[in-house]
Amino acid sequence: MAMPFDEFGRPFIILREQEQKTRLRGLDAQKPNIAAGKAVARILRTSLGPKGMDKVLQSPDGEVTINVCWDEIDVFMVPANDGATILEQMDVDNKIAKLMVELSRSQDYEIGDGTTGVVVMAGALLEHAHKLLERGIHPIRIAEGYEMASRVAVDHLECISHKFEFSATNVESLIHTCMTTLSSKIVNRCKRSLAEIAVKAVLAVADLERKDVNLDLIKVEGKVGGKLEDTELIYGIVVDKDMSHPQMPKHIEDAKIAILTCPFEPPKPKTKHKVDIDTVEKFQTLRQQEQKYFDDMVQKCKKVAKDVGATLVICQWGFDDEANHLLMHRDLPAVRWVGGVELELIAIATVSNDICVFCVRWENCAKISRVDTREAGQGNKMMIEETKRSLHDALCVARNLIRNNSIVYGGGSAEISCSIAVDAAADKYPGVEQYAIRAFADALDAVPMALAENSGLQPIETLSAVKSQQIKENNSGCGIDCNDVGTNDMREQNVFETLIGKQQQILLSTQVVKMILKIDDVISPSEF
Ligand code: ADP
């Protein structure tokens, strides 16, 4: 990096070891940044939509984490289609590429779905920004134009959205929206049953008055063995543990549960100690004392909480064989090594703040549901992980609809409609921003084009046909017929997305692109 000099010709230092740093400024700084963002988007582009491809990535220790095409690749590989997951595993090094990873993560965090689409959109915005930069338009004007266009698009989405009426008894609309999310995942073949599970689980814990859903109350648990079709929803809490002693009863009804967050054993002295046992009597005394101690503990459990008496002990820690034996003999069945989260859920389910003895029914106890996803046979743990991720997306979609029951149509139709609206709005801006607004409209076309391309259709031809159909029929529901159903009306195909999810995609991608465009100075350590 060139050394700066003051007016007397003396060099001065601004950055530590500045002579060892390289510096890129202006367009030279922006271009590599844009290229890095575009490169990430290009990777994800082929994963978009119901016919999107999966990816294979190999970790440094040789384990394959993501595969390219589930059907063709050995089952020991992990299939993943979710944009956030692919980026998470990619071990991205470049700073701007990391921003794209963050972008996908934010969409996942806020909405839970649309993680691929948001990156594809950002990539397209960067690509068009690049062209405008080459034409000499200042990055700030591009950023401002994008901002204006994103506001037009978000408002337009509101105009073309529809309210989805649902109630506890009529959940068909919720199920269809969840099915749209699942249709692009590997679990596609069971999308109806998984969508039903997701909707029922969300409704079980939803507060419909406050329009809020606490997804922490839903646990998705995977188990190797069985098939995807075996997935079931369990109202209650599943603690996947055996009884601590094989002879303890396996079936307990109307249990009164004592939850212990302490170990079931005598307290250990903190000081160093030594016990000399040189006679049989001494040994027996010690043994009796220990037994008495355990006996007291067992009695306490059976009598605590106003003499209600526990009929089942759930312990966060372990207990030794002696205690276990005694518990069995004193008819107090127990489960040990139960995780803290599970204990908390049991506490919530049994509606008590204290961890002590509860007097409630074990089943039907609370609005906590647990989805059991089982996929194995030829499948494996990795498949279960992908199923869990897909279910998470479906749960998020159902939650979003409960928060705000507006939907827009999918299959790229919403993007095409926004593109037309943004393009029309561009004329109203007399300044240079107009170019950026038009570029934004073109970038919106990237999603339907990718959907068409990934489904083996001619992207430009298909897009222009659908666009003109939307204008001619004044129908914002026309999109890409990815599955070759015979109609491109997404309303008929039941392909929906949540309004807030789509709006978030546009807002987040615009923010990230604006951030990248505003970087005009990159100072990095020199290569040597
Ligand atoms: P993301 O991670 O962004 O949700 P997906 O790979 O799940 O990406 O693809 C979502 C896109 O696929 C959305 O634009 C959605 O509208 C579209 N899509 C889903 N199902 C269909 C379908 N049956 N026909 C056409 N488009 C669909």
Q: Is 271 a catalytic residue?
A: no
263-276 mean pLDDT: 77
Range(s) within the chain of domains with CATH label 3.50.7.10:
256-359
Asked if 115 is an active-site residue, the reply is: yes
| Mean pLDDT of the region 16-30 | 69
Is 180 a catalytic site residue? no
Highest mean pLDDT among 9-23, 387-401, 450-464: 450-464
Q: 476 alpha carbon to ligand 1 midpoint, in Å?
A: 16
Amino acid identity, residue 295? Answer: D
Asked whether 229 and 319 are in contact (CB, 8 A), the reply is no
pTM, full prediction: 0.76
Distance CA 224, CA 226 (A): 7
pLDDT at 91 over 80: no
- What does the pLDDT look like over 383-415, one tens digit per residue? 788 888 888 889 998 998 888 889 999 999 999
User: Model confidence over 139-156: pLDDT tens digits?
Assistant: 999 999 999 999 999 999
Which atom, in ligand 1's list, is nearest to the CA of 415?
A: 14
| Nearest CA, atom 16, ligand 1 | 410
- ipTM surpassing 0.90, yes or no? yes
Residue with tokens 């803290």: 340
DSSP for 473-485, written as a single string: HT-TTB---TT--
pLDDT, residue 367, reads 38
Q: Residue 467: which pLDDT band, with cuts at 50, 70 and 90?
A: very high
pLDDT score of 161 more than 90: yes
Task: Report CA(49)–ligand 1 centroid distance (Å).
Answer: 4
pLDDT at 63 over 70: no
Superfamily, domain 172-236+369-404: TCP-1-like chaperonin intermediate domain (3.30.260.10)
pLDDT at 362 over 50: no
**Confidence check: pLDDT of 240 > 70:** yes
Residue 335 near residue 246 (C-beta atoms within 8 A): no
- List every span in the chain annotated with CATH 1.10.560.10: 18-49+93-162+408-525
Q: Pinpoint the residues of the chain covered by CATH 3.30.260.10.
A: 172-236+369-404
Q: Is 169 a catalytic residue?
A: no
The per-residue pLDDT of the chain, averaged, comes to 81
**How far does the centroid of ligand 1 lie from the alpha carbon of residue 137, in Å?**
34
The DSSP line for 389-451 is HHHHHHHHHHHHHHH--EEEETTTHHHHHHHHHHHHHHTT--STHHHHHHHHHHHHTHHHHHH
CA distances from 198 to 172, 327, 369, 372, 511 (A): 12, 39, 10, 11, 31
- Phi, psi for 65 (deg, rounded to 5): -105, -30
For 324-351, what is the mean pLDDT? 84
- Banded model confidence at residue 218, pLDDT cuts 50, 70, 90: confident
User: Which residue owns the Cα nearest ligand 1 atom 12?
Assistant: 49
Question: How many C-alpha atoms does 458 have within 13 Å on its Cβ side?
Answer: 6
More confident: 270 or 289: 289
Please give the CATH superfamily to which domain 18-49+93-162+408-525 belongs.
Answer: GroEL-like equatorial domain (1.10.560.10)
Is any atom of ligand 1 closer than 6 Å to the C-beta of 179? no
Determine whether the shortest distance from the Cβ of 498 to ligand 1 is under 6 A.
Answer: no
The answer, yes or no, to whether any atom of ligand 1 lies below 6 A from the CB of 480, is: yes
Q: Is the dihedral of CA 425, 427, 433, 436 positive or negative?
A: positive
**Is 477 near ligand 1, meaning CB less than 6 Å away?**
no
Provide the 10 A C-beta neighbour count for residue 295.
15
- Which has the higher per-residue pLDDT, 142 or 258? 142
Q: What is the 3-state secondary structure (H, E, C) of 202-213?
A: HHHHEECCCCEE
Task: Say which residue, 519 or 125, is predicted with more confidence.
Answer: 125
CA distance 497 to 495: 7
Mean pLDDT of 490-496: 89
Residue 174 reports pLDDT greater than 90: no
Q: What is the pLDDT, as a whole number, of residue 61? A: 66
Ligand 1 atom nearest 83 alpha carbon: 2
Residue type, 17: E
Q: What percent of the chain has pLDDT over 70?
A: 81
Q: Which two tokens stand for residue 191?
A: 């999308």
Element (H, E) at 462: helix 459-473
Please give the average per-residue pLDDT across 45-64, as a whole number. 75
- Classified by CATH at the fold level, domain 256-359 comes out as GroEL (3.50.7)
Query: Ligand 1 within 6 A of 483 CB?
Result: yes
Length of the chain: 528
* Nearest CA residue ID for atom 7, ligand 1: 184
The predicted structure's pLDDT at residue 229: 84
